[in-house]
Amino acid sequence: MSEPGDVLLTMSGIVKTFPGVRALDGVDLEVRAGEVHCLLGQNGAGKSTLIKVLAGAHQPDEGVITWRGEPATLGSPVAALKMGVATMYQELDLVEGLSVAENIFLGHEPATFGFTNRRSANNQTRKLMARLGHPEIPPSREVGLLSAAGQQLVSMARALVHDARLIVMDEPTAALAADEVDNLFRVVEDLTDDGVAVVYISHRLEEIRRIGDRVTVLKDGRTVGTNMPADTPTSELVNLMSGRQVETVFPHRDVSTVDEDNELLRVENLSRGGEFEHVSFTVRAGEIVGIAGLVGAGRSEVLETVYGARKSDTGSVWVNGKRLKPGSVMAAVAAGIGLAPEERKSQGLLLDQSVANNVTLASLPEYSRLGFTDQRRELKDSRATLERLDLRPADPRREVRTLSGGNQQKAVVARWLVRGTKVLLLDEPTRGVDVGARAELYRLIHELAATGVAVLLVSSEVPEVLGLSDRVLVMREGRVLTEAPAGELTEAAILDMVMEGSEVMA
């Protein structure tokens, strides 16, 4: 057993090249037993490649790895797991149709003569779930029925059952609500007290401050700062990551872009059973309206219902004075609404196709004559839009899959820009996007508003909603609690409303 503070793992000079790309170009990392070691870096800085090297999924081309002082190779995912390194991927790799216990023991079920010993598995699972602070989750529960937080616990239990000494967590809080985050952090603290090391990847600096011990910063596949204390000033971390000065994350906004008399979107008394009720609001040209609330408060559902992707039970949506047919995306798009969905990859993009094909997807009739596509104009307009959005690389023929998260998000926005969309719905626009690219997206959203676009924004991050919006709706349990100009609200006030259930009812 290693004592807390002992060096558990070192990586030095790790290089990993793929055809044409040097994904890792000299990464150094030192992880000690019992610490939470945070990994920071922009998308494309090499974090995901490094995680895969740690998990044994990728073999480095150069560099040395030591484990408890001995040279080691992470030859395969199984070898890594056997050595004591477990990885919790952002998209959890669980089998939804199997039970909690079956998932935890997947591949090494306790068995006698080939017959699985369900009782033993269930007992061990019960102990693990209790250790993780959730004894109420029964071992027989189907994993697909658990919440995101529950599934994450199962994933963690799977790491523990292998007696992992080092657990890699890739953005574990991305899908969690605030109280679930608290539980996760409590579990992480318990683990580190037992001498388990955690490599923690997150874009949220406040989380790193809360539970991190040391920070390593990656940029362009290299370690640019390592073993820094977790309370390193934000500006210093951001500077290391981006290599450029970031003064304020939220650009200054001139509210006078709001056209008071031009109400582009009006939502009246919209309800959908079990999801949200009596939601009413308006968004004017040039205005940014943000919806704050926890995951599950009904924010995304409101957005998707406005867009027609879900059908409302009651209420109406008006665009530019015309009532929309409920439950019809085609009607919404034709009326000038665009949506950048929450799940960019599964709901927004044709990953295998070119950026240009993705950009013109919603405007194919405009890019065709008698049904024939005008590919020259498609490429020209796509390229112009990519340059306008500073999407890098501005190559419309590139496959979308190869772009970073921030650039993929820009590709989705570009789709609505070429269409001349007047009402833009943004669902978690900066999820999985690094700090530098976030600032660019913020600037972009402001620019869109300045050109008269009405923006309706949903974000789990309260500062983001406050920093970007002119007006804010606060939602809890399917109801709008309050609506106020962003200037009159504070982060603490909103958190108080969504969590404690203040008496401020709209």
- Tokens standing for 483? 């609506």
> Of the candidates 106, 364, 499, 504, which one interacts with other proteins according to CB under 8 A?
364
Looking up tokens 């959890």 gives 92
> Of the candidates 349, 391, 426, 480, which one interacts with other proteins according to CB under 8 A?
349
- Tokens standing for 175? 């899908």
> Of the candidates 70, 261, 352, 503, which one interacts with other proteins according to CB under 8 A?
352
Distance CA 406, CA 11 (A): 28
Closest approach, Cβ 335 to other proteins, in A, equals: 10
Using the 8-state DSSP alphabet, how is residue 325 labeled? P
State how far the alpha carbon of 100 is from the alpha carbons of 158, 169, 182, in Å: 10, 19, 22
Is there binding between residue 49 and other proteins (CB under 8 A)?
yes
Closest approach, Cβ 469 to other proteins, in A, equals: 23
Is there binding between residue 354 and other proteins (CB under 8 A)?
yes
Q: Which stretch binds other proteins (CB under 8 A): 26-34, 103-111, 252-260, 356-364?
A: 356-364
- 8 Å CB contact between 271 and 278: yes
- 8 Å CB contact between 358 and 408: no
Is there binding between residue 21 and other proteins (CB under 8 A)?
yes
Q: Show the CA angle centred on residue 373, arms to residues 370 and 376, nearest 5°.
A: 130
Per the DSSP assignment, residues forming a β-bridge with 473 are: 291, 483
State how far the alpha carbon of 148 is from the alpha carbons of 171, 172, 197, 405, in Å: 13, 10, 23, 21
> Of the candidates 330, 492, 500, 503, which one interacts with other proteins according to CB under 8 A?
330
Q: Show the CA angle centred on residue 443, arms to residues 457 and 91, nearest 5°.
A: 55
CB of 34 or CB of 46, closer to other proteins:
46
Is there binding between residue 327 and other proteins (CB under 8 A)?
no
Is there binding between residue 429 and other proteins (CB under 8 A)?
no
Cis bond before residue 393 (omega within 30° of 0): yes
CB of 162 or CB of 415, closer to other proteins:
415
Looking up tokens 């409302």 gives 312
Is there binding between residue 14 and other proteins (CB under 8 A)?
no
Closest approach, Cβ 378 to other proteins, in A, equals: 9
Q: Which of positions 399-418 make contact with other proteins (CB under 8 A)?
A: 399, 401-402, 415
Longest CA–CA separation in the chain, Å = 76
Distance CA 455, CA 465 (A): 12
CB of 230 or CB of 455, closer to other proteins:
455
> Of the candidates 1, 3, 19, 500, which one interacts with other proteins according to CB under 8 A?
19
Is there binding between residue 269 and other proteins (CB under 8 A)?
no
Using the 8-state DSSP alphabet, how is residue 469 labeled? -
Distance CA 476, CA 482 (A): 10
Is there binding between residue 302 and other proteins (CB under 8 A)?
no
- Phi then psi for residue 472, to 5 deg, are -130, 135
Q: Which stretch binds other proteins (CB under 8 A): 205-213, 232-240, 369-377, 464-472?
A: 369-377
Closest approach, Cβ 148 to other proteins, in A, equals: 19
CB contact burial 171-193 (16+ within 10 A = b; e otherwise): bbbbbbbeebbebbbebbeebbe
Is there binding between residue 351 and other proteins (CB under 8 A)?
yes
CB of 184 or CB of 264, closer to other proteins:
264
CB of 329 or CB of 506, closer to other proteins:
329
- Tokens standing for 215? 């920070």
> Of the candidates 34, 41, 44, 84, which one interacts with other proteins according to CB under 8 A?
44
Is there binding between residue 3 and other proteins (CB under 8 A)?
no
> Of the candidates 329, 493, 495, 506, which one interacts with other proteins according to CB under 8 A?
329
Q: Which stretch binds other proteins (CB under 8 A): 5-13, 19-27, 153-161, 441-449?
A: 19-27
State how far the alpha carbon of 349 is from the alpha carbons of 103, 379, 393, in Å: 30, 17, 17
- 8 Å CB contact between 497 and 480: no
Distance CA 122, CA 143 (A): 14
Is there binding between residue 74 and other proteins (CB under 8 A)?
no
- 8 Å CB contact between 185 and 210: yes
Q: Which stretch binds other proteins (CB under 8 A): 268-276, 365-373, 429-437, 440-448?
A: 365-373
CB of 58 or CB of 272, closer to other proteins:
58
Is there binding between residue 439 and other proteins (CB under 8 A)?
no
Q: Show the CA angle centred on residue 188, arms to residues 186 and 193, nearest 5°.
A: 95
Is there binding between residue 451 and other proteins (CB under 8 A)?
no
- Tokens standing for 25? 């170009």
> Of the candidates 365, 492, 500, 503, which one interacts with other proteins according to CB under 8 A?
365
Q: Which stretch binds other proteins (CB under 8 A): 79-87, 195-203, 276-284, 353-361?
A: 353-361
Is there binding between residue 115 and other proteins (CB under 8 A)?
no
Residues making contact with other proteins (CB under 8 A): 18-21, 23, 44, 46, 48-49, 307, 309, 329-330, 332-334, 339, 341, 346-354, 356-357, 361-362, 364-365, 367-368, 371-373, 375-376, 379, 393, 395, 397-399, 401-402, 415
